[in-house]
Amino acid sequence: MIDAQLYFITAALYLLLGIRVLVMQRARGYAAEGQATGEMIVRALILAALIVHGVLLHRALFADERLDLSLGHSLSLIAGVTVAMYWIVSFRYRMGILQPVILWIAALMVLSPLVLPADKQVAYSGLLAFKVHLVVSLMAYGLFVIAALHAILMGVLEQRLHDHDKRISPLGQLPSLVAMDSLLFQMILVGFLLLTATLVSGVFFSEALFGKPFLLNHKVVLSFISWLIYAGLLAGRQFWGVRGRRAARWTLVGFTLLLVAYVGSKFVLEVILHRG
């Protein structure tokens, strides 16, 4: 068992960074040059926090030289990938209040192995097909987490604009709604490609492990339904100009199905049924 202090140190880094970002967003009257410098420092600190989190994950997941993908460790791993994906996106877009929210959620998820069942070792972790499947699926999850939070933020901003609510400043510096809508579909497109690769790699993984090219269970069914939703969203955008609240709602529906497919199923099996 890893020293619990490392969990709390990692969570504290994310928590304090989230507070720092929020303070920067609330600051007024400082020069653009100073703001750019502050953002560069925050990005460097987030990268440092990710490195510490990576050390924690390596020690936790490979404690006995076998991969442990229990619910708590899986949540921590998804949190790390989500922050990493956000860190990449932040170089191009300012995400407003979404920045500290992602960091605070990551802080909570880092601590989840301390309260959730652990020691669910994966016997087939050495398979190349499984490694590819795991990496691609985590990238998809991380990007869809950001897309879901982005969709919520879009909904809040659009509602405030329609209600002529001038108190938008608490949301931080954000692109226009048009730019946010465009960014949402960029994330959905990349996430959709990663989800497609996840499902395809899952076929090869199932073939290598179970001797069956397709193992039909609730996780596969829900993931495939989510894939259809995102495919429909992209087609709707291309041919019918779907955007705004409708796009945000269906983004959340697709993400909810993915969440239930993986996290929900692991919670039921490990926490409620006490099965691996």
Residue with tokens 């985590």: 138
Interval 160-190: pLDDT, tens: 776 655 555 555 566 677 888 888 999 999 9
193's tokens? 């490609």
Between CA 108 and CA 14 the distance in angstroms is 9
- pLDDT one-digit tens code per residue, 17-41: 999 888 887 775 454 555 677 788 8
Total count of residues recorded for the chain: 276
What is the reported pLDDT for 7?
A: 93
Question: For residue 80, what pLDDT is reported?
Answer: 92
Band of the pLDDT at 228, cuts 50, 70, 90?
very high
d(Cα 163, Cα 3) in Å, to the nearest integer?
50
Q: What is the mean pLDDT of the chain?
A: 81
Question: Where in the chain are the domains?
Answer: 1-117, 124-276
- Which of 50-54, 172-176, 185-189, 268-272 is predicted with the least confidence, judged by mean pLDDT? 268-272
**Residue 29 confidence (pLDDT):** 46
Tell which phi-psi region holds residue 274, choosing left (phi > 0), alpha (psi between -120 and 50) or beta.
left
> ∠ CA 222-99-144 to the nearest 5 degrees?
15
CA separation for the pair 96, 172 (Å, rounded) = 4
Do 112 and 72 contact (CB within 8 A), yes or no? yes
Task: Tell me which residue of 83, 86, 76 sits closest to 108, measured CA to CA.
Answer: 76
Residues of the chain with pLDDT > 70, as a percent, come to 76
